[in-house]
Structure 1
């Protein structure tokens, strides 16, 4: 409320001068409504599965929210309802003096099984700043108290990343027998084989809420080849909502890490010498986790080294799981000339493994020799034929001499 003087007034001073100008008073608040305790909420310490427990904590706090600042809120104004065998030994209120809109009520020395709730006494001496007495109060949720001595345990650990993998970050699912908290990367005991390494591991609740019985473990900076697995440390911080420590843990399923691409090997040549061909090589993809459906090798991927303008004919054939047959022919009609000739796979990605590693460009194969005229491989047969012809000639000559 404000008040002031009406400009059309008849106020005059002793000399008869009329009052001029305007003026308003400061704003005056009129408050005849008493305050109320609008919300009373148990303070979840972070590991209760619900806003009101259950728990076996010996200390519980409630936040009392008034709709305006009040004074004189103290221990005598706290109305406590306890059920079952629940009891407590001490109660405190902060802040100790007002006015304040928010107070914290702390109960300690709690024992027993049952519930505890509270409200604010509306017949006490709580008043707002202008002296209006409290009018109403809500009642809090009832905090549930139980006794639980059953320790949690880790029931399953398995990779959710497909195996084998070459991912830099891999993921595992971890399941517990009941909701737990204080589970983080320091509670993981890792095992590795081969050359596997990693940088860090992080833990997050699968449901997004802690405590929970399901967590996701992310392992970052994964390198090398081999296997990776872990278990949960029973000497760590993991505990259930009743503070029982972790009792046991399974050993997790193993994830295969593969960062090595398939190697390309050559078996051959066959024959090692020819004048025209065909010459065969077997191209073999060597990998522990080879994807047998992935080979896309074609004649265009094969480079015949030491070839001039006219190249020989190259054919790729076969359907074996991890190899293909390369046949080189028409050498005599090409510009390849005499000498040693090798082949090479010159396209990246002619195959890959199950982890997604791509086959690289190969090295050079062992060479074969292109001969001018009759290839060396045929000389034994030619010599044998010439010896046979000589023997026949000698036999005929001796026979004719005998007939004379």
Structure 2
């Protein structure tokens, strides 16, 4: 019966991961121009990609290498909004992001170049992307309190007593609120058939610079790096080059069908890599195989999920997504400002990214990163040669 333990752990991981973030994925795809069918197809393509990559990596390396879609990347899509060239241009950006991921695994110097971006600046860019989403619950409480209050209260109570189920619980509360509000019959009439929609890619400079590059960076910084760190805490050292090449190729296959990025799981990785999955670390890879199977089954209901999002008030959908992303925002802000060095550059990156500006059709995530790097270069240029950094000011939080 020991086989049931890792299987159940993998299935729980699939359910929690899907329910916690599918609204973010659908909202992101709709934001960059996808219609309902294209968004449903993208969600299904991501689930299929997760299943394929998770099973391949688990069987190849006998490790619980959990795979997920890029939740920070989906948040970036929401923050970026429509791109020049419409959804085909977004699909082209997805393909370029996948190619960069493959290159990062195959070409060591590219991975080193990405690693050279200061951690604080990368975290600040991610935090700036997440801020507009994480303020949505507050806006929903003002605009639609009848729907938003029960959702928020459910999330708050589960955060206290069953943290891992907080966002799925909030989603369930939202579904009940929508049904009570009179959209239940329309939801029940939604098609359960899988939706596959091929979108030929187009390539535009604004989409490549303003979407593909930031998507690659936030996926690396927000998913692959912390995902590898979670595995390391449980004693696993996955071959990162092989993981990047595999997830990059799977992402490239999913992109024409609307999938934005597949990568290492970060938040749910502990569910399959920890002792709860199996007492024997050598047997926990079974949980990852079960995760892949669970994602495949959940993906078949992508059309129903897309219909649910379409029937919901947009601010409620973004509010549920914002609740899911609050822990990620907290971690990004902490990483951005914890250390004195590069703190000012990180704050500049955060402010520019959160401002949501668009210049030459290129979104704010790119300009935030550029601003932070320029701030770092200016700081180093104006510092006299041989001068050491000033002593760090006492941290008032740490002092308490």
Q: Which interval holds the TM-score relative to the shorter structure?
A: under 0.3
Higher-Rg member (1/2): 1
Q: Report the structure, 1 or 2, having the larger strand content.
A: 1
TM-score, reference length from structure 2: 0.16
Bigger relative contact order (CA 8 A; separation at least 6): 2
Query: Higher helix fraction: Structure 1 or Structure 2?
Result: 2
